[in-house]
Structure 1
Amino acid sequence: MPRTHTEDPANLCTAPAALPQLAHPRNLGIPLDPGWVRRAAVNRSAAERRCATLPGRRSVKGSIQAAWLLKAVSLIDLTTLAGDDTPGRVRRLCAKARQPVRADLLDALGVSGLTTGAVCVYHEMIAPALDALAGSDIPVAAVSTGFPAGLTPFATRLAEIEASVAAGASEIDIVISRRHVLTGDWAALYDEVRAFRAAAGPAHLKTILATGELGTLTNVARASLVCMMAGADFIKTSTGKEPVNATLPVGLTMVRAIREYHAVTGHRVGFKPAGGISTAKDALVWLALIKDELGDRWLSPDLFRFGASSLLADIERQIEHHVTGAYSAAWRHPLG
């Protein structure tokens, strides 16, 4: 992506550099530290005040905004998780993942090789996704463990992970048992995620906290720490199926837990907000949060993803406006 050195990077006004896609060591996890978990606490009012400042303080325009939006595209887990999914729909989604923004718009911006971060599907759609993505470097992520509720038998959830890895998924998005958080049974949550990590083997494990069902930001912080201690490669806000999904106070809570965990252990853990992020403006605010709290290293697909589909359509419309000066109709940007 083009980069200018005339703006202030502290204000998110510099176009993001093309960060090298370095494979960092996986989070090995650590023994459960109940004292560290109990000490974690979040002041909701303070978190909300901090998040309220983000949209106004981190404003970008013109070519800088376009560059940040292209960065956002590279971080999307393009997702279809519907009961009426078909191989044809998945193939169309994968085609969009390979060419997420119209070629003429990318040519005008001098950008090539742009893809989304991954394609996320149910287990039954792994095979058509792999076929449609053959020859690309785009990974297939599969939701697992009784998604979205996570209430199937434990042995079934482990078998589901193993089956998806065997089918070729290189990333597994699992859901935790919310009851362990709500009852403060941190040992049970740790053991559960540790077992999921073992079942995933070489696949990267993204643990979905379903934060809208955890009650408090303190619970979100404690669950985040426990999942990271158990070896999660990513922590993710939501399934997208809860009444409340990704919110900025939840995101702030989770990324600060990631920052603390990295400071103590040296392990980097990724972050994935999912659900309710549907506009280019939303994406820019989330990128500002990550840049402020975790730094540029996390602005890379190996450490940050958006769980979204409708987001891409709005970003493409904004990029078209930047290039042509006009918006096209939303129906011209279908995903399925």
Structure 2
Amino acid sequence: MEYANHLNEYAPAPSEAQAAEEVARMKTAAVRNENSDVYKLCYSAIDLTTLSCSDSVRSVTAFAEKAVEFYDKFPHIPNVASICIYPSFVETVGVAVDGTPMRITSVAGGFPAAQTFLEVKALEVAMAIENGADEVDIVLNAGRMLTGEYDEAANEVEVIRAEMDEEIVLKVIIESGVLKTPDLIRKASLLSMFAGADFIKTSTGKTDVSATPEAAVVMCHAIKDFYEKTGRKVGFKAAGGVRTPQDAVLYYTIVEEILGKEWCTPELFRIGASSAANNLISAIEGREVKFF
């Protein structure tokens, strides 16, 4: 399908200066949200992530079992939204979380570079879902975006989306730190949504620049404009470099200010993180906690 022509139906991206000015305003506004209730919401929005070359069935099982143990250890805190792993560990996590509400997120589609055959990407996604993934995080082809091959990039997402049933959540990573400019970040966000993304996500966490508040502002405005034109709500996920409670609260505030409170739920707001989990628990409990 031709998607690039639809970009003209939307306003241009903000300038870098405008995005920076808005982030400064968000940082001031975020102070009001540095409280236990927002920390709990941010914790419940985490896709608890392990994406290491040293991952193994043993380590991933222990990781998932620890997340399940959280239900009993901290019953007053809503647990994380999902566990995010490589596709070969989907079944491993499924065994560990069986009988709990915990969702399973699999990266797939040639993660993290998306530089493989489309047929391979689609098959990997299909296999992750067959093994039990509830949600799939794929990467928009940044190389195609940088060379202006917008339809080709979006069509890859469309093909992968077609491999999924409607209830599977598709998050598309635009790798904002590679695209760099507000214009490309906005285009990538819109193209991903045109092609069927349920969430747009900042980054893989595998590049020099990961999530930034400036990219989040641009992406959230794209989500708002898309919703106003289509009536379809798309979620936002910040990932890569989100470590402190203040980091999490800033992204929460950006979502709240641009998209509204209705987006401030795990159904439409996620944080891809590992180290942030302990830090948020500590902020909630008022003492240092090293649970994970």
* TM-score (ref. length: structure 1): 0.82
Residue equivalent to 1:160: 124
Residue equivalent to 1:124: 88
Equivalent residue for 2:205, pick from 240, 243, 247: 240
Pairing 1:180–2:144 present: yes
CA deviation string 1:110-141 (max 9, x = no partner): x36x2101110001111110011101111101
Structure 1: gaps (5+ residues): 1-29, 322-326
The amino acid of 1:98's aligned partner reads V
Residue equivalent to 2:242: 277
Residue equivalent to 1:36: 7
Change beyond 3 A, Cα 1:101–1:66? farther
Q: Aligned partners of 1:235, 1:58: CA distance in 2, in Å?
A: 22
Residue equivalent to 1:59: 31
Q: Aligned partners of 2:27, 2:13: CA distance in 1, in Å?
A: 25
The amino acid of 1:34's aligned partner reads N
SS across alignment from 2:162: helix
Residue equivalent to 2:57: 87
Per-residue deviation, 1:204? 1.4
Contact map agreement 2:172 2:199 (CA 8 A) in 1: yes
Q: Aligned partners of 2:110, 2:117: CA distance in 1, in Å?
A: 8
Contact map agreement 1:121 1:141 (CA 8 A) in 2: yes
Rg larger in structure: 1
Residue equivalent to 1:254: 219
SS across alignment from 1:81: coil
CA deviation string 1:226-284 (max 9, x = no partner): 11011111110100001000000100000100000000000000111100000011111
Residue equivalent to 2:18: 46
Per-residue deviation, 1:33? 5.4
Contact map agreement 1:31 1:229 (CA 8 A) in 2: no
Equivalent residue for 2:266, pick from 280, 297, 301: 301
Q: Aligned partners of 1:102, 1:51: CA distance in 2, in Å?
A: 38
SS across alignment from 2:200: strand
Pairing 1:218–2:183 present: yes
CA deviation string 1:78-135 (max 9, x = no partner): 00000111223222322343344883xx56xxx36x2101110001111110011101
Per-residue deviation, 1:40? 2.7
Contact map agreement 2:202 2:238 (CA 8 A) in 1: yes
Q: Aligned partners of 2:158, 2:2: CA distance in 1, in Å?
A: 10
Q: Aligned partners of 1:69, 1:96: CA distance in 2, in Å?
A: 20
Q: Aligned partners of 1:83, 1:159: CA distance in 2, in Å?
A: 21
Pairing 1:333–2:257 present: no
Structure 2: gaps (5+ residues): none
Contact map agreement 2:2 2:151 (CA 8 A) in 1: no
Q: Aligned partners of 2:12, 2:165: CA distance in 1, in Å?
A: 30
Residue equivalent to 2:97: 133
* TM-score (ref. length: structure 2): 0.93
Paired positions, count? 290
Q: Aligned partners of 2:184, 2:159: CA distance in 1, in Å?
A: 21
Q: Aligned partners of 1:278, 1:171: CA distance in 2, in Å?
A: 23
Say which is worse superposed, 92-101 or 298-307, in terms of deviation: 92-101
Contact map agreement 2:23 2:213 (CA 8 A) in 1: yes
Residue equivalent to 1:312: 277
The amino acid of 2:79's aligned partner reads T
Pairing 1:75–2:45 present: yes
Contact map agreement 2:13 2:218 (CA 8 A) in 1: no
